[in-house]
Amino acid sequence: MNLSHITSHSLKRVLSLTERKDELVQLVSEIETEITKLLSGFVGAVSPKQGTPTKDTPRKKTRKARRGKSGNLTSKIVAVLENAGPDGMRVKDIAAAVGSPAPNVSVWISTTGKKFVVRVEPGIYAIKGAQPAAEKPATTTKKTTRKSKTTDGKRSNKFNPSKSKGI
């Protein structure tokens, strides 16, 4: 900035703007002080976040999930299936009788119910031991392969054509 080319009119204008700026800075400082004084009297009443209660305002009570006693569903399902007998019941019917949602009953059967329940037909379950005596549960036969000992004494599943019959 070259001061040799400043006119007296420009210099007066700069001086007046500087004085006005100082007045505005003083006014802003006074306003900030007044705001601080007002807020300091209401420290407990002003919440730090909008919507959060302060010490003076009571909190809303939240509802907790209602859980039944442990084993309650087990005892209900076992009682219903004992009454059903060896024919068993569908998951949908068990759920209606117990008063629980069908998915809950289905999960119970696949986890906890393994100890108590047997599948009679697809989708139909009965209490273990409630099957009729005349009808035996189907047993699956598992094919076993004959294992032969190798020269080192270990068993092997490898096919040996010299020991096969009918060739």
Give the 3-state secondary structure of the chain. CCHHHCCHHHHHHHHHHHHHHHHHHHHHHHHHHHHHHHHHCCCCCCCCCCCCCCCCCCCCCCCCCCCCCCCHHHHHHHHHHHHHHHHCEEHHHHHHHHCCCHHHHHHHHHCHHHHCEEEEECCEEEECCCCCCCCCCCCCCCCCCCCEECCCCCEECCCCHHHCCCC
Q: Residue 132 pLDDT more than 90?
A: no
Q: Which of 4-13, 28-37, 156-165 has the lowest mean pLDDT?
A: 156-165
In this structure, the answer to whether residues 36 and 76 fall within a common structural domain is no
Whether 58 maps to a domain, the answer reads no
Q: Which of 58-62, 89-93, 137-141, 150-154 has the lowest mean pLDDT?
A: 137-141
Whether 30 maps to a domain, the answer reads yes
* 128 neighbors 84 (Cβ within 8 angstroms): no
Domain of residue 26 covers 11-40
In this structure, the answer to whether residues 31 and 76 fall within a common structural domain is no
In this structure, the answer to whether residues 35 and 78 fall within a common structural domain is no
Q: Residue 125 pLDDT more than 70?
A: yes
User: Average pLDDT in the 152-157 region?
Assistant: 64
Whole-number CA gyration radius for the chain: 43
C-alpha of 144 from chain center:
45
Per the structure, the count of domains in the chain is: 2
The pLDDT value recorded for residue 133 is 45
pLDDT digits (tens, 9 = 90+) for 37-66: 888 876 555 455 555 556 666 666 777 666
The pLDDT value recorded for residue 25 is 94
The pLDDT value recorded for residue 39 is 84
> How many other C-beta atoms lie within 10 A of the C-beta of residue 26?
10
User: Average pLDDT in the 112-117 region?
Assistant: 86
In this structure, the answer to whether residues 32 and 77 fall within a common structural domain is no
> Residue for token digits 């006014």?
27
Whether 141 maps to a domain, the answer reads no
Q: Residue 144 pLDDT more than 60?
A: no
CATH number of the domain within which 109 lies: 1.10.10.10
